[in-house]
Amino acid sequence: MSMTPPLPGNLRGAVDLSSLVSRAQAPAPTAGGPAGEGAGGASSLIVSASDANFPQIVELSNTVPVLVDLAAPWAEPSQELSAVLDRVVASYGGRLVLARVDVEASPQIAQAFQAQSIPTVAAIIGGRPVGLFAGVYPEDQIRDVIEQVLQLAQQNGVTGTVPVEGGPAEGDAAEPVEEPLPPHHAEAYEAISTGDYDTAIAEYQTAIAQNPRDSLAVAGLAQVQLLKRLDGVSLDDVRSDAAAHPDDLDAQLLVADLDVSGGHIDDAFGRLLDLFPKQDQAGKDRIRARLLDLFEVVGTDDPRVAKARTRLAGLLF
């Protein structure tokens, strides 16, 4: 039996980790230390991840897949698994990077990956999280999981490598060339990277107008609209406002956005579906529209979306 759920065929519906709001943006430490002590730079295959350098690690995942080892240094299972992961990642010669997170020092990162136990291993591919497994497993099973991660990365155009310290000199092996994005997708991606969500929205809308069946553009549009709604908001303020005003539709819609951005999918859908019968027609229309957008963000083939869609249909009819 596989120790992981089936990996999605693509990441179009995954929530971009950059949607985590109110994250500290302190300068990252400089690279160049021993393995495990860098700042997420390409010179090390094993790096320490923290709130300060996590955005750099997410950016690195656009080049190579990044394994995330959510660990507690004092825990024997974490130490056991970390030793295996170090060895396995090194054997892949720069095709992936391992980022180790001390969950006590960086609880926000552990929360973002919904880690329920330690150790937990996830991946980031193209800026998007993929859950893998929790607990300690034999090396051969871990290698099987990593092969799946590499296949998924290839399907999503994340096919680069990073230099290996002490490895072959530059030019000994050619790096794979990533397939370029369609023009409007590329413009949207560039705009998102600079926080220009309005331009990204316009680019995706243009792509959809040219090809209404462009499902990647539809999902991208829903995702960047979510990012725009959450831009600059405070996590604590959003949750406090929603708790203090349970009948305020705007507050509940925003906290549902926040739940989706943090991976709490069932909470977001359940909140809006519970609220739906209490609304007038205009309110119901707003909730339905927001749910359809969030379905695209999560991925229309996700079983949680199917469950919520069925419940929504029952409320509508």
CATH of the domain at 60: 3.40.30.10
Measured CA to CA, the distance from residue 48 to residue 102 in angstroms comes to 8
Task: Please indicate, yes or no, whether residues 127 and 257 belong to a single structural domain of this protein.
Answer: no
Task: Please indicate, yes or no, whether residues 135 and 26 belong to a single structural domain of this protein.
Answer: yes
C-alpha angle 304-188-163 in degrees, rounded to nearest 5: 90
| Higher-pLDDT residue of 210, 302 | 210
Q: Is residue 33 part of a domain?
A: yes
Measured CA to CA, the distance from residue 47 to residue 50 in angstroms comes to 10
Q: Give pLDDT, residue 169.
A: 41
- Counting the structural domains of the chain, the total is 2
Tell me the CA end-to-end span of the chain in Å, nearest whole number: 40
Q: Are the C-beta atoms of residues 188 and 200 closer than 8 Å to each other?
A: yes
What angle, rounded to 10 degrees, do the helices at 281-298 and 215-230 form?
110
Residue 243 confidence (pLDDT) above 50: yes
Q: Is residue 12 part of a domain?
A: no
Domain residue limits at 116: 17-155
Measured CA to CA, the distance from residue 45 to residue 41 in angstroms comes to 9
Residue with tokens 């949680």: 304
Q: Is residue 9 part of a domain?
A: no
What element of type H or E holds 99?
strand 97-102
Q: Is residue 115 part of a domain?
A: yes
Share the mean pLDDT of the chain: 80
Contacts of 166 (CB under 8 A, 6+ apart): none
Asked which of 111, 136, 155 is the last residue of a domain, the reply is 155
Query: pTM of the predicted model, to two decimals?
Result: 0.50
Q: What percent of the chain has pLDDT over 70?
A: 81
SS3 67: strand
Residue 146 confidence (pLDDT) above 60: yes
Q: Give pLDDT, residue 179.
A: 57
- Range scoring the smallest mean pLDDT among 158-167, 173-182, 296-305: 173-182
Task: Please indicate, yes or no, whether residues 89 and 36 belong to a single structural domain of this protein.
Answer: yes
Task: Please indicate, yes or no, whether residues 205 and 108 belong to a single structural domain of this protein.
Answer: no
Task: Please indicate, yes or no, whether residues 189 and 254 belong to a single structural domain of this protein.
Answer: yes
Task: Please indicate, yes or no, whether residues 109 and 30 belong to a single structural domain of this protein.
Answer: yes
Query: Phi then psi for 144, rounded to 5 degrees?
Result: -60, -40
pLDDT-derived band at 53, boundaries 50, 70, 90: confident
Task: Please indicate, yes or no, whether residues 135 and 215 belong to a single structural domain of this protein.
Answer: no
Measured CA to CA, the distance from residue 47 to residue 58 in angstroms comes to 12
Tokens of 252: 């509940």
Q: Is residue 190 part of a domain?
A: yes
Q: Are the C-beta atoms of residues 113 and 68 closer than 8 Å to each other?
A: yes
Q: Is residue 146 part of a domain?
A: yes
Residue 3 confidence (pLDDT) above 60: no
Tokens of 93: 């010669």
Task: Please indicate, yes or no, whether residues 146 and 189 belong to a single structural domain of this protein.
Answer: no
Residue 29 confidence (pLDDT) above 50: no
Task: Please indicate, yes or no, whether residues 82 and 149 belong to a single structural domain of this protein.
Answer: yes
